[in-house]
Structure 1
Amino acid sequence: MSSGRGRICCPSHPDAPLVDDCHAGDQICSECGLVVGDRVVDVGSEWRTFSNEAGNADPSRVGGAENTLLNGTNLTTMIGPSTSGGGTSFNETGGAVYKNRQTMSSSDRTLVNAFKEISNMADRINLPRTIVDRANLLFKSVHDGKNLKGHSTDASASACLYIACRQEGVPRTFKEICAVSKIGKKEIGRCFKLILKALETSVEIIKTSDFMPRFCSNLGLPAIVQRNASHIGGKAVELDVVPGRSPISVAAAAIYMASHASENKLTKKEIGDIAGVADVTIRQSYELMYPRAAELFPSDFKLIISQLPQR
């Protein structure tokens, strides 16, 4: 029912909000339940689909979402079997009258396979959708430019994911990407360099602080140890204590030093398994840092040097 102002409302409760019952197509007063309007458009699904229970009968009228990165926009025409029982889809010899037409080109098929591989790898290491989208865009650019001829799709996809992680500010190590990929570290590294050169793009230089929160969290270390480890790693780089050492090995050595200055002592192997760094690599970085340990810890931390192992 309408009020004098042309607004539909309940005559007994004009100020009460109305509830839309989309399935019944009614507008109902929330106070008394009176149906005050009808012909509401149902914005829900046209029907429920139980394709697994109904064999091949799937009433969905649409396919997957359109992917704008594909040249053919992944459109296909599929002719299903006749449902009327008259056999109109087949001729007298049993052959199909209509042919299913696949419009996806071999180029789009390569893109689809690469996008699927990137998505699968990202799922295994819990990467957000923004990184997947950036990796897909990178692969599309490389694929269209034909910059990685002779390299496998999986290697290119893995390198694009690695670059996307660094460009989005959440870098992953080569070993972490290799762990979820089918490709070795050397091949991914080669594709990584080629992609950066071909696309004339760059990545941010990785720092010890990029890995510290994730490594410490995976090792179950408390916040105070993480804070000390971050300070140690940053100070070691600032004072040029570990020249030529990778940020990952410096971060692992800083965690090793901070853990031994606390009650949460960890071995080099425990840290190396999480950081993807060999024990000897951690030891070499730690031996460079140990003589200047007093300078590396925060100023408010009471360090007892004798607590720290010499190697």
Structure 2
Amino acid sequence: MATGGGMIQCPNHPDAPLIDDDHAGDQICSECGLVVGDRVVNVGPEWQNFSHEADNGDPSRVGATESILLNGTDLTTMIGPPSGGNVALPDSGAAVYKNQKKMSTSDKTLIKAFAKIRTMADRMNLGKAIIDRANHLFQQVHNGKHLKGHSTDASVATCLHIACRQEGVPQSFDDVCAVSNIHIKEIGRCFKLILEALKITVDIITTTNFIPRFCGNLNLGFPIETIATHIGRKAVELDIVPGRSPISVAATAIFMASHASDKQLTKKELGVGTGVADVTIRTVYKLMHPRAAELFPENFNLDLTKLPRS
């Protein structure tokens, strides 16, 4: 409470010193705890979280954490031209600007690429470990200039595809094409170049890599997933589906497993959950159906009449 002279003091304890509460912005009497002033400038940090991750450990408003993948990691500030008239000028008459270090073109490219990787990963529900690996791969490709003549978008999409396979969460070329709008042939070319340039290897994508994810998309239970996995593995071992993509074999295996159980899915429903065209499923099914008895587990009570003919 302000006195006649404008000085703030406690009306009950005029001689008591006041305590500044930086967080609340108040002035408090040290004797009785009465708030006698407010709107004191808060000199503490602002704890609102402006990070892109909700669980970020540092919620202070100081911008995003610097990336160790960028070529320049020093924290510099770009000072713009002055707007006032009282500016110190050298003999040449030009204004003097200090601390005018600009971000390099290379770092700008990396930052844009990292943002694209995160956007695509979010659309595919991929985790941070995959994003970090994809960022590191792109940095290696970019700094080594291994993909001259190929677009940055193609490089970004391919690095994400490789990162998924290295982290044990393989995504097909079609999955990456869907979120990047890059043609599958372009990703295929970049894929070969990156593996050769960085001298890295990735595990071969198999039918069983996709069945758990597809069954999850279709809300199918574990029993159907187990049977479909056995069917898909057997179809490959017996060389029934030579040259067919693992995705189409996985979708067809789920189709057969569902029809042998109580939940029978149509080819159209499978297409929605797997991204495989019903025509493709029909083609692969024609190869697998004649040998259905060999594909199902031995202890499975298979009724072949439940399986459609085509």
Q: Give the TM-score, by structure 2 length.
A: 0.75
Q: Which residue of 2 aligns with 1:253?
A: 252
> Which deviates the most, 273-282 or 261-270?
273-282
Distance 1:99 1:273, change over 3 A: farther
SS in 1 for 2:210: helix
Residue type matched to 2:45 in 1?
W
1:97-136 deviation line (CA, Å, top 9, x unaligned): 6367243111111111111100111011110111111111
Residue type matched to 1:47 in 2?
P
Q: Which residue of 2 aligns with 1:78?
A: 78
Q: Runs of 5+ in structure 1 lacking a partner? A: 1-22, 25-44, 53-59
Work out whether 1:179 is the aligned partner of 2:178: yes
SS in 2 for 1:112: helix
Aligned length: 258
CA distance in 1, matches of 2:48, 2:75: 24
> Which deviates the most, 279-288 or 207-216?
279-288
Q: Which residue of 2 aligns with 1:64?
A: 64
Residue type matched to 1:200 in 2?
K
CA distance in 2, matches of 1:212, 1:252: 7
Query: How far 1:63 sits from its partner (Å)?
Result: 3.9
Q: Which residue of 2 aligns with 1:273?
A: 272
Q: Which residue of 1 aligns with 2:261?
A: 262
Check whether the contact 2:78–2:102 (CA below 8 A) recurs between aligned residues: no
Residue type matched to 2:271 in 1?
G
Distance 1:75 1:183, change over 3 A: farther
Check whether the contact 1:209–1:234 (CA below 8 A) recurs between aligned residues: yes
Check whether the contact 2:114–2:135 (CA below 8 A) recurs between aligned residues: yes
Query: How far 1:64 sits from its partner (Å)?
Result: 2.7
CA distance in 2, matches of 1:199, 1:178: 22
Q: Which residue of 2 aligns with 1:310?
A: 309
CA distance in 2, matches of 1:291, 1:89: 89
1:131-182 deviation line (CA, Å, top 9, x unaligned): 1111111111111111111111111000000011011110011121112113
Q: Which residue of 1 aligns with 2:123?
A: 124
CA distance in 2, matches of 1:127, 1:253: 25
Check whether the contact 2:48–2:61 (CA below 8 A) recurs between aligned residues: no
Query: How far 1:87 sits from its partner (Å)?
Result: 5.1
Distance 1:170 1:148, change over 3 A: same
1:225-274 deviation line (CA, Å, top 9, x unaligned): 11111111111112222122111111011011011111211111221233
Q: Which residue of 1 aligns with 2:290?
A: 291
CA distance in 1, matches of 2:218, 2:61: 49
Q: Runs of 5+ in structure 2 lacking a partner? A: 1-22, 25-42, 51-59
Distance 1:73 1:225, change over 3 A: same
Query: How far 1:62 sits from its partner (Å)?
Result: 4.1
Query: How far 1:51 sits from its partner (Å)?
Result: 11
Residue type matched to 1:255 in 2?
I
CA distance in 2, matches of 1:61, 1:217: 39
1:190-242 deviation line (CA, Å, top 9, x unaligned): 21121112112111011111111110110111221111111111111122221
CA distance in 2, matches of 1:104, 1:89: 29
Q: Give the TM-score, by structure 1 length.
A: 0.75
> Which deviates the most, 206-215 or 239-248?
239-248
Q: Which residue of 2 aligns with 1:223?
A: 222
SS in 2 for 1:280: helix
Work out whether 1:152 is the aligned partner of 2:163: no
Q: Which residue of 1 aligns with 2:46?
A: 48
CA distance in 2, matches of 1:290, 1:74: 63
Q: Which residue of 1 aligns with 2:165?
A: 166
Q: Which residue of 2 aligns with 1:301?
A: 300
Residue type matched to 1:305 in 2?
L
Q: Which residue of 2 aligns with 1:34?
A: none
Q: Which residue of 2 aligns with 1:204?
A: 203
- Aligned CA RMSD, in angstroms, stands at 2.9
CA distance in 2, matches of 1:66, 1:177: 28
